[in-house]
Chains A and B, each alone.
Chain A
Amino acid sequence: MKIAIIQFPGSNCDRDAYYALAGVFNQPSRLFWHKRPSLAGAECVVLPGGFSYGDYLRCGAIARFSPIMKSIIEFANNGGPVIGICNGFQILCEAGLLPGALVRNEGMEFVCETASLKVEDSMDYFNQESLGETIDIPIAHGEGNYRIDDAGLTELEANNQVLFRYANNPNGSKADIAGIRNKNGNVFGMMPHPERAVEDLHPSRDGIGVIKAFLKSQMARQKA
């Protein structure tokens, strides 16, 4: 899949995503500056982690008005695969492509550690059969506390939209939610960083499974 990794001013995991996707997965990947008017034929969009616009106002609140977001929203609404990691997840929530919001961690402090995640059976390939029951993926965020109203949560659960939950909730997220997808199954958002868990020098290599499962699930969707 031709992958576009979007660089906002303040993105800082853009190269990490590139090294993982291009280096480890051999996917044709390109870094895309946020002022570009279009996605130029990309088949998959990655919104990387970082502090877009310094997290001023609210995390992701300004980035969602970046010129390229118009194309991304259109792309996602047409079923194109989009994954947002950490700040990317926050941007997707701000843009309305995913439900809920991410607010300051309950402990009020930035948390960086390797988190154990419980995998949910969300969709084809993105399930316990492919990924295992629990995986270890690094987290690094100050505002990863997932909030959603009760009706929204009921809907998320009813549609199996929760991708994984924290085994030991580090930030106060509702229902221990660490990652979700949209109802349609083409837009993914997660606070943990799978690109930080793909090489043997990393704390784990469970990110490989996550990225693989995402790519496979999207290829399967497109065939269907």
Chain B
Amino acid sequence: MATEAPAPNPDPTLNVPITPELVEKHGLSTDDYELIKKILGREPNLTELGIFSVMWSEHCSYRNSRKLLKQFPTQKFDEDSRNKVLVKAGEENAGVIDVGDDFAICFKIESHNHPSAVEPFEGAATGVGGILRDIFTMGARPVLFTNSLRFGKLDSADSRRIMRGVVHGISHYGNCVGIPNIGGDVYFDDCYEGNPLVNALCLGVLKHDQIKRGAASGVGNPVYYVGAATGRDGLGGASFASKELSEESVADRPAVQKGDPFMGKLLMEACLEMMAVDGLVVGIQDMGAAGLTCSTCETAARGNTGVEIELDLVPQRETGMNSYEIMLSESQERMLVIVQAGREEEVEKIFEKWDLHAAKVGAVIDGTDMVVKQHGQVVARIPAYDLTEEAPLNDPEAKRPAYLDEIQTWTPEQIDDLTETGIAEALPKLLSDPTIANKSWIYRQYDQMVMTSTVEHAGESDAGVIRLRCGGPDKDKYIAISNDCNNRYCWADPYEGGKIAVAEAIRNLACAGARPLAMTNNLNFGNPNKPESFYMLKEAVRGLAETCEFFDVPVVGGNVSLYNENQESKIDPTPVVSVVGIIDSRQYITPSLIKKGNEAFILLGDVADELGCSAYLRVIKDLKTGKPPAMNLEKQASLMDFLQIQIQKGRIHAAHDVSEGGMLVALCEMLFTKSKTFGADLNLEDLPIDRWDTLFFGESQGRILLAVDANKADHVVHDAERYDIHADILGEANDEGILHIEAPNLENPIQWDSNELRKAWDDAIPQAMKI
């Protein structure tokens, strides 16, 4: 059945014939266009074409990735076989998972890569604002941010400009809205030159009965537009994010939105105040990507109803905007609210208190169409469900890139092992590599402590830890969060790289004393229409999904960012994962920094002859080759069980995952505390030693460094044996600030001044940014 054709548009420039060129310009294929005609039963007009183009972009419809994403587990059952996932991935703006006692958390990560490449400050700031709205839309009060950032190397002026802008943007928005930024991860690699990644995560807390849905229901209920006025900024941003960057992208700068954190803060407070009133809100949805279009059709589709809006009633900050522009604008800090009829005044009063717009722009109507009017005339009429849910799903071709076979045959035997001098020189070099170095240049620009519930923030523990206020000290809960993804591992083997990303994030949580609960991910990849790029996505998702399944960690939401390439380069596959865990008791919260000298260090886990894609190869040998280290999930599971019991016994003073840079880098990271730089005396006589480079700088997975009381070290090792976990006592920390290593086949002990190592680690990023 054909939908009734709209009248001619009041703006004559919109009354043009839809040519194949126009269709292509909107990023739609001829097949897509045929489907659109089938859905409408007629030709679309230009406004409708624009609406389809943004809704069917990868950004909104996941058309290239949706089939893959079905592999992710979406449920987690408690002891009483109740599903802890209260809102599943893809159902709403963000997923929600139970944390017990009627409390739940809601979290999601989202990318703002393309906007940040073109306009770093605004791109990153609006990334934070966008994810913030996704969380409070669900009825949750946001309580933390983290982010995963990827930049080109800092010897490039452009990378420095982008990093400075991105960090300022995140700090500008996040600090103003008063939510602590407690960590994340940052990598620097050539593949991100011109293709930076900015993935922002927000987590909120709510009671079970506070969950709000983005569904329109109840014919006659008014539809409200609240928040900032609509302008021409961010026009077609979702489509912009769904193609490769080119020189013309700079001309796409109008597709980058401009954020106003003050407005974001007011909107959050007003919405939370409104949602706290029982029965006032029927449905609520953020106007993020694809703005008014997406919020209108999605709420209608979820509610299986129709929605009609009149654009003349939409607050506008520019004059003469036509329907195409208003519907496709991505102006920030706006929400769509379906209000219970008869309670309009209560809503308006709340927004008046916060000095915000609350304009009644339409109503829930009979039928299932999204109807858009301007000056009283219909300018677009589209079946909402088909628009939202019937986006054609692609089945892109996948082809294994030829280079994989070539690089995977590489072994450490192809390079000379380190000499004693080489070992001594390599450590400070690795510590001053920006990916490994102290990141305080970045995180001291973020308010990490507002809300006064941050227990461990960036650099203090392997995971960020915060308290959830649940009604008093005996009821409060503690949650931990860790972001992770090593791009080079994923480049060399996307399946193993994906597994490692999830396993490492979970290991980080275990080090902080947490059990994993749920995950969100941000799949940053290249153009899916290129078979080799799509292969990487497909394999990485398989690795992520299997590992989530293995550890019973459901995926409660996320984001897909494809097309991260420009004319010169494309990014390595970067499936950023962020896992949230719960810490059963305050006493179990474990830092990564030691507090005093004479702590004994124990290394858990096996060392293998692995160097592929390590920081060592990258920094010292300037090589990008080799398989990533092997990941044994069963072994990690027993390692985590063991660690949890040791933490519960109160034996573990500090725990730190061995990752980029290997064992000595991990050790240094435990010694470099805020108030003091410790040293350590290591004697490696018990370690099996094949090569120095793999022992000291290899990145074999599933290893953890522990700091324990010297007189308890033997007990810990003894207990580890019962779990079949390899454990070696490496030596003890000292107050003298000397790092000293002896081993049976070292002719002379190797020694460093910890303060000099510390300086290399501390100064690297500030020095690079000073240029």
Residue positions of A touching B, CB distance < 8 A = 9-10, 12-13, 15-16, 19-20, 33, 35, 49-51, 53-56, 109-114, 138, 140, 142, 193, 195-196, 198-199, 201-203
Asked if B123 is at the interface (CB within 8 A of a chain A CB), the reply is no
Q: Are B448 and A50 touching (Cβ within 8 A)?
A: no
Q: Which residues of B lie under 8 Å from residue A35 when comparing CB positions?
A: 353
Asked if B449 is at the interface (CB within 8 A of a chain A CB), the reply is yes
Select one of A20, A111, A203 contacting B444, CB under 8 A. Answer: A111
Ordered nearest first, which 10 A-B pairs have the shortest CB separation? A12-B178, A54-B262, A51-B176, A140-B447, A16-B452, A110-B445, A201-B455, A112-B447, A110-B171, A196-B449
Say yes or no: A9-B451 contact (C-beta < 8 A), given A55-B176, A201-B467: no
- What 1/0 mask marks residues of chain B from 332 to 348 whose CB sits below 8 Å from any chain A CB? 00000000000000000
Task: Name 18 extra pairs, CB < 8 A, besides A9-B266, A10-B262, A109-B168.
Answer: A9-B265, A10-B176, A12-B265, A12-B450, A19-B452, A49-B450, A50-B178, A54-B262, A109-B171, A110-B175, A110-B446, A111-B444, A111-B445, A112-B447, A114-B674, A138-B449, A140-B450, A193-B449
How far is the CB of B289 from the nearest CB of chain A, in Å? Answer: 24
- What 1/0 mask marks residues of chain B from 5 to 48 whose CB sits below 8 Å from any chain A CB? 00000000000000000000000000000000000000000000
Q: Are B445 and A109 touching (Cβ within 8 A)?
A: yes
Residue positions of B touching A, CB distance < 8 A = 168, 171, 175-178, 260-263, 265-266, 353-355, 443-455, 467, 586, 674
Select one of A15, A51, A54 contacting B451, CB under 8 A. Answer: A15
Alpha-carbon distance A196/B452, docked complex (angstroms): 6
Q: Are B262 and A56 touching (Cβ within 8 A)?
A: yes
Select one of A33, A142, A193 contacting B175, CB under 8 A. Answer: A142
Alpha-carbon distance A112/B175, docked complex (angstroms): 10
| Chain A to chain B contacts (Cβ below 8 Å), 20 pairs | A9-B262, A9-B265, A10-B176, A15-B451, A16-B452, A19-B452, A35-B353, A49-B450, A51-B262, A55-B176, A109-B168, A110-B445, A112-B175, A140-B448, A140-B449, A140-B450, A196-B452, A198-B452, A201-B453, A201-B586
Q: Which residues of B lie under 8 Å from residue A56 when comparing CB positions?
A: 262
Q: Are A54 and B261 touching (Cβ within 8 A)?
A: yes
How far is the CB of A21 from the nearest CB of chain B, in Å? Answer: 12
Q: Which residues of A lie under 8 Å from residue B171 when comparing CB positions?
A: 109-110
How far is the CB of A142 from the nearest CB of chain B, in Å? Answer: 7
Alpha-carbon distance A54/B264, docked complex (angstroms): 10
Q: Are A195 and B262 touching (Cβ within 8 A)?
A: no
Alpha-carbon distance A50/B446, docked complex (angstroms): 13
Closest A residue, CB atoms, query B355: A9
How far is the CB of A62 from the nearest CB of chain B, in Å? Answer: 10
Closest B residue, CB atoms, query A50: B178
Q: Which residues of A lie under 8 Å from residue B453 when comparing CB positions?
A: 201
Q: Which residues of B lie under 8 Å from residue A193 when comparing CB positions?
A: 449
Say yes or no: A112-B261 contact (C-beta < 8 A), given A10-B176, A55-B176, A201-B467: no
Q: Are B452 and A113 touching (Cβ within 8 A)?
A: no
Alpha-carbon distance A125/B448, docked complex (angstroms): 31
Alpha-carbon distance A26/B177, docked complex (angstroms): 27
Closest B residue, CB atoms, query A9: B266
Most chain A beta-carbon neighbours within 10 Å: one of B355, B444, B446: B444
Say yes or no: A12-B449 contact (C-beta < 8 A), given A51-B261, A51-B262: no
How far is the CB of A25 from the nearest CB of chain B, in Å? Answer: 14
How far is the CB of A156 from the nearest CB of chain B, in Å? Answer: 28
How far is the CB of B552 from the nearest CB of chain A, in Å? Answer: 29
Select one of B175, B449, B455 contacting A51, CB under 8 A. Answer: B175
Q: Are B451 and A112 touching (Cβ within 8 A)?
A: no
Alpha-carbon distance A54/B353, docked complex (angstroms): 16
Q: Are A20 and B452 touching (Cβ within 8 A)?
A: yes
Alpha-carbon distance A15/B261, docked complex (angstroms): 19
Closest A residue, CB atoms, query B446: A112
Q: Are A16 and B451 touching (Cβ within 8 A)?
A: yes
Q: Are B444 and A112 touching (Cβ within 8 A)?
A: yes
Closest B residue, CB atoms, query A54: B262
Closest A residue, CB atoms, query B456: A201
Alpha-carbon distance A201/B445, docked complex (angstroms): 21
Alpha-carbon distance A9/B265, docked complex (angstroms): 8
Q: Which residues of B lie under 8 Å from residue A12 when comparing CB positions?
A: 176-178, 265, 450
Q: Which residues of B lie under 8 Å from residue A20 when comparing CB positions?
A: 452
Alpha-carbon distance A219/B261, docked complex (angstroms): 39
Select one of B260, B448, B454 contacting A54, CB under 8 A. Answer: B260
Q: Are B445 and A16 touching (Cβ within 8 A)?
A: no
Alpha-carbon distance A19/B263, docked complex (angstroms): 25
Select one of A15, A16, A54 contacting B176, CB under 8 A. Answer: A54
How far is the CB of B28 from the nearest CB of chain A, in Å? Answer: 39
Q: Are B265 and A10 touching (Cβ within 8 A)?
A: yes
Q: Which residues of B lie under 8 Å from residue A110 when comparing CB positions?
A: 171, 175, 445-447
Alpha-carbon distance A1/B177, docked complex (angstroms): 30
Closest A residue, CB atoms, query B172: A110
Q: Which residues of B lie under 8 Å from residue A198 when comparing CB positions?
A: 452
Q: Are B266 and A13 touching (Cβ within 8 A)?
A: no
Select one of B262, B353, B446, B452 contacting A199, CB under 8 A. Answer: B452
How far is the CB of A48 from the nearest CB of chain B, in Å? Answer: 10
Closest A residue, CB atoms, query B441: A109
How far is the CB of A43 from the nearest CB of chain B, in Å? Answer: 24
How far is the CB of A151 from the nearest CB of chain B, in Å? Answer: 34
How far is the CB of A19 from the nearest CB of chain B, in Å? Answer: 6
Say yes or no: A10-B266 contact (C-beta < 8 A), given A33-B353, A113-B444, A140-B447: yes
Alpha-carbon distance A13/B447, docked complex (angstroms): 11
Alpha-carbon distance A160/B579, docked complex (angstroms): 52
Closest B residue, CB atoms, query A113: B444
Q: Are A112 and B449 touching (Cβ within 8 A)?
A: yes
How far is the CB of B674 from the nearest CB of chain A, in Å? Answer: 8
How far is the CB of B114 from the nearest CB of chain A, in Å? Answer: 25
Q: Which residues of B lie under 8 Å from residue A19 when comparing CB positions?
A: 452
Q: Are A16 and B355 touching (Cβ within 8 A)?
A: no
How far is the CB of B321 from the nearest CB of chain A, in Å? Answer: 25
How far is the CB of B175 from the nearest CB of chain A, in Å? Answer: 6
Alpha-carbon distance A217/B219, docked complex (angstroms): 62
How far is the CB of B61 from the nearest CB of chain A, in Å? Answer: 35
Q: Which residues of A lie under 8 Å from residue B447 when comparing CB positions?
A: 110, 112, 140
Q: Which residues of B lie under 8 Å from residue A54 when comparing CB positions?
A: 176, 260-263, 265
Alpha-carbon distance A9/B262, docked complex (angstroms): 8
Q: Which residues of A lie under 8 Å from residue B260 when comparing CB positions?
A: 54
Alpha-carbon distance A12/B176, docked complex (angstroms): 8
Alpha-carbon distance A54/B178, docked complex (angstroms): 11
Q: Which residues of A lie under 8 Å from residue B355 when comparing CB positions?
A: 9
Alpha-carbon distance A114/B674, docked complex (angstroms): 10
Most chain A beta-carbon neighbours within 10 Å: one of B353, B445, B446: B445
Select one of B175, B262, B446, B452 contacting A53, CB under 8 A. Answer: B262
Closest A residue, CB atoms, query B466: A201
Closest B residue, CB atoms, query A170: B444
How far is the CB of B168 from the nearest CB of chain A, in Å? Answer: 8
How far is the CB of B284 from the nearest CB of chain A, in Å? Answer: 21
How far is the CB of B349 from the nearest CB of chain A, in Å? Answer: 13
Q: Are B444 and A16 touching (Cβ within 8 A)?
A: no
Alpha-carbon distance A50/B451, docked complex (angstroms): 11
Alpha-carbon distance A220/B117, docked complex (angstroms): 58
Q: Are B449 and A203 touching (Cβ within 8 A)?
A: yes
Q: Which residues of B lie under 8 Å from residue A51 when comparing CB positions?
A: 175-176, 178, 261-262, 265
Select one of B265, B445, B452, B674 contacting A195, CB under 8 A. Answer: B452
How far is the CB of A34 from the nearest CB of chain B, in Å? Answer: 10
Select one of A109, A112, A195 contacting B448, CB under 8 A. Answer: A112
Select one of B353, B446, B450 contacting A16, CB under 8 A. Answer: B450
Alpha-carbon distance A9/B455, docked complex (angstroms): 27
How far is the CB of A152 from the nearest CB of chain B, in Å? Answer: 29
Most chain B beta-carbon neighbours within 10 Å: one of A10, A35, A202: A10
Closest B residue, CB atoms, query A195: B452
Alpha-carbon distance A49/B178, docked complex (angstroms): 9
